Chains A and B, each alone.
Chain A
Amino acid sequence: MDITALLNMMPGAAAQGLIWGVMAIGVYITYKILDVADLTVDGTMCTGGAVFIMLTVHGAPMAAALLGAFIAGMLAGLATGLFHTFCGIPAILAGILTQLALYSVNLRIMGQANQPISFRNYALLVSSRNVKAMTLENPILIGAIFCAAIVAVLYWFFGTELGSSLRATGANPNMARAQGIDTNFTKVLGLMLSNGLVALSSALLAQYQGFADVNMGRGAIVIGLAAVIIGEVLLSKVFRNFALLLVSVIVGSILYYVVYNVVIWLGLNTDDMKLITALIVAVFLSIPYWKGKYFDRPGKKGAGTHA
């Protein structure tokens, strides 16, 4: 096995990891902050790219196309949010419904199952062909800037009154309502913000890989969860600050793609990657449960302690 080949794959892993890191932050907002597992993202992870490409092809400037993708994602989050709060559908099911609906919507947006976009015809922000270039166009650099900006904005937002009310909703909805917080509103807002970021990530990914595909979001939620969990397991002891927690999600995403590329390098069939990812996430999700059930030492009590 050729170690240089593996090393050659690492810049691509970093770029993909950063782009998916934006998506993973979206998952973090719903899964960790709002305490909702939102499956909409599997659909939104295509919607963003689809909207971006169609807008670009029709002559929209970069900023407008990215904004369009972000708004499209927010609308998907709004749909899930209304299914959940206004219609009273359990959050997981609400996400699945929107996700399914988005499959049709994405096909409608693109007009076909796959839409290419070439750097030859359009000025793209990120492209995989620049991944080893020592220029300002390197997608690793641009991905890192995007991630840093998003972390900064979210750090500010979750420190505001409104952001705090979102955190309270996830931490204890009863308490939040007793403090006058409309938890339906905060849930919808959180789902919109999350899906907006996922769609933004999708728009970057479509540019990076040069196309949007109706299946590009399949299993995205699991990749996002993997990033969140890998980051948490590795860095939660070191990182306490909220901004650093978001950074750990991005680190988790990069590590996921490093592992992904190692798997390819080892010659494993990449078709098996979703199976492997699902198993890894299942194991990491089980760890806290097993810890509590089989390894809980008496005397060392956690957060659920009564006086």
Chain B
Amino acid sequence: METQEAIAESTPVETDGQSDSKRDGQKRLTLGPNDSLEGKLTYGGSLAVEGGGRAEGELRLGGNVEVGSGSVVKALIEASNVTIKGEVEGRLTARDKLTLGKNAKLNGDVQVRRLQIEDGASLNGYVRMGDFEQQAPGS
């Protein structure tokens, strides 16, 4: 249930487009409804794709990734915690935990340490679970 709290806490939608804000001393990038990202992103902080935002390419993050409902991400994703409520296509690595919300759709192979899937979520792909030593992005 801790995830839900984490989500609630980070829900305030920043619709002012791409913004880089400090939050709890953590860098955080938000893609809003009219924003899109294409290419490769390597970032020490966290990324949120919300309210219909789009991202495509490769996302390597030191922090977390959140894909809100209505948002679409087609990318290789690597992050600590990944929370999906929208649609994601691509290989995904969560160094800590992957959470699929009840309307989430995920197509792609997944490597995680912990996994939580809520009823109603859709997942197609291989799941590998366990501890793994992978260096944080940028190192």
Query: Do A and B come together as binding partners?
Result: no
